[in-house]
Amino acid sequence: MSRFVEPALAIVLAIVWISPLVFAAWAAFHDVSDAVNFRLMAPLTFDNFRTAWEGAPWLRYFLNTFLLVTLILAGQFLLCTLAGFAFAQMEFRGRDTVFILVLLQLFILPEVLIVENYRVAASLGLLDSLLGIGSPYMASAFGIFLMRQAFKSVPKDLDEAARIEGCSTLGVLWRVYVPAAHPTYLAYALVSVSTHWNNFLWPLIVTNSESARPLTVGLSLFGAPENGVDISVISAATLMVVGPLLLLFLLFQRQFAQAFLTAGVK
Amino acid sequence: MTDPFTLERRRRAIHGWLLLSPALVMLSVFAFYPSFATFVTSLWSRGTRRRPSEFVGFENYQYLFEDPTFWLVAWNNLLYAAVTIPISITLALAMALWANAKIPARSFVRTAYFTPAILPMIAAANLWLFFYTPSFGILNQIGGLLGADPVNWLGQPSTALWAVCAVTIWKEAGFFMIFYLAALQTIPPDLKEAAEIEGASRWTYLRRVVLPLLMPTTLFILINAMINSVKLIDHLFILTKGGPSDSSKLILYYIWENAFAYFDRPTAAAMTALMLAVLGALAAFQFLMLDKRTHYR
């Protein structure tokens, strides 16, 4: 008896868990009056997607989000590689004190500092730009920590061999450490991209025109009640926004889970 | 003459600082300076056109403590944490145990649990709107079949905060599951066999063997969940905007509102400073508790 109870519970929970997405997908392909009355046999329609697509400059938003996550990732790779390398393999006075300062930033969340970060961004002329959205996240303490751990596990012999061959410090970093930390980079990339693809509050504050606005902010404006779009159209727009990331996730599910683990557990 | 050894050490120090400097500059500009500036701003009055801002000491904090909305919002946030953290951690554990067991349709079950974790909070809120809408929302339709009266889930103070909590739990549980799943897979199967030979029930095995072994993971997840209970507020913008009558407003949302809707920076700064203090305490807790025996190598 109890052999069947737990699998049944597990599957029921799974169905409950996926149902908001399933309902939205179903509603997106049906006329709103059919959707809200649950006419299961109602005809399919693509009108909601058409209305949603014409209702906002989505292409621009997609492009902005794509450029934004690329920009942030590039900045993070550069800054965290250099700093992580210094913390892992260079010995000098003051290093450990600075490392503790960096770790503190794990708790000073950029989300909490919106008020003053806005002033900083304003005084640097970064408002309403992709650079303005991305800058606070580039020197991520999390990323520095992650790269430090990855570089620490690189065997010292490789390092010394490269130096004997005449490599400079940066040469050793580029030829030995960066290739060795390849899996960590991949994991970090997946975590970073999915975090910033989904980020909302800071982009909302910094942007005030569609020129830099990412998808999440665009979606929230599109769905706002004063915009008067119905629930089927909102569902269609939501699916359009999450579609690419969702597809990527379903294709690379294993890597995604592995990435969150590498990033979180190490 | 300096000996080569000193020279080499000096060279290393210079290289080290050069490598660190880009990250340190960015951290200073977007983390350390703003933290400091938050505190300074919170000590000055709100400047107007006629009366420039002046030093007022802790007056802003005093006003904040006299503001009933602040206490309501703080209380809401406490409830939000007290509800979402234990429920999402418990669910995450159950999900992980199930997703790790030999059950039918296991890959579907895993995918279903984890998918909400990768959606943007804004999208999640849009999906849930469909459930909560008063006239035709799914919850009310189901309730109607069972003979319940329709409930305006987001529109009344007694349910708005719970509706918001549900979305957070939905997003978080599957994400935390991943960490438990990984930890479960490191538990050697002999332990289970040994427990079975000893005649321990599954429940005893879970309570006496599995849960203690998962303790470091639980602590790690707990810290993350606490941080999330401060920062996960995106769905408020879609679902309730903090209303009705502030019943679902959380601190970060109130900070945003003060700074960017009421243009009252000093109050927002005072609240931010308090929040940083709480996060600092959390950091200290983590360093003390997790120092030796965590995931951090």
Number of folded domains that form chain A: 2
- Kindly provide the b/e burial profile for residues A213-238, where b requires at least 16 CB atoms within 10 angstroms of the residue's own CB: bbbbbbbbebbeeeeebebbbbbbbb
The answer as to whether A55 is a domain residue is no
Please check whether residues A132 and A18 belong to one and the same domain.
no
Domain of A93, CATH number, reads 1.10.3720.10
Please check whether residues A197 and A85 belong to one and the same domain.
yes
The answer as to whether A51 is a domain residue is no
Please check whether residues A64 and A155 belong to one and the same domain.
yes
Backbone angles phi, psi at B31, to 5 degrees: -135, -55
The answer as to whether A257 is a domain residue is yes
The answer as to whether A170 is a domain residue is yes
**Chain B residues whose beta carbon lies within 8 Å of the beta carbon of residue A58:** none
B39 touches chain A (CB under 8 A): no
Please check whether residues A208 and A234 belong to one and the same domain.
yes
Q: Classify burial at A176, counting beta carbons within 10 Å of its beta carbon; exposed 0-12, middle 13-18, buried 19 or more.
A: buried
The answer as to whether A52 is a domain residue is no
A149 touches chain B (CB under 8 A): yes
Q: Give the model's confidence band at B291: pLDDT under 50 very low, under 70 low, under 90 confident, else very high.
A: low
Residue A85 has its nearest CB partner, among B19, B37, B130, at B19
Please check whether residues A41 and A64 belong to one and the same domain.
no
Domain ranges of chain B: 1-41, 56-290
Please check whether residues A110 and A208 belong to one and the same domain.
yes
Q: Smallest CA–CA separation between A106 and chain B, in Å?
A: 8
List pLDDT tens digits, range B105-134: 888 888 899 889 888 898 899 888 878 877
- Residue pair B72/B89 in contact (Cβ under 8 Å)? The answer is no
Please check whether residues A72 and A176 belong to one and the same domain.
yes
pLDDT at A2 over 80: no
pLDDT of residue B295: 44
Residue A60 is which amino acid?
Answer: R
Mean pLDDT, chain B, integer: 85
Please check whether residues A66 and A134 belong to one and the same domain.
yes
Matching residue, tokens 């993070």: A76
Please check whether residues A114 and A35 belong to one and the same domain.
no
Please check whether residues A85 and A199 belong to one and the same domain.
yes
Predicted complex ipTM = 0.85
Please check whether residues A38 and A145 belong to one and the same domain.
no
Residue A90 has its nearest CB partner, among B12, B109, B138, at B12
- Residue pair A62/A50 in contact (Cβ under 8 Å)? The answer is no
CA distance B239 to A252: 31
CATH top-level class of B56-290: mainly alpha
List pLDDT tens digits, range A13-67: 999 999 888 888 888 888 777 777 767 777 778 888 888 888 888 999 999 999 9
Per the structure, the complete domain to which residue A238 belongs is given by: 60-265
The answer as to whether A54 is a domain residue is no
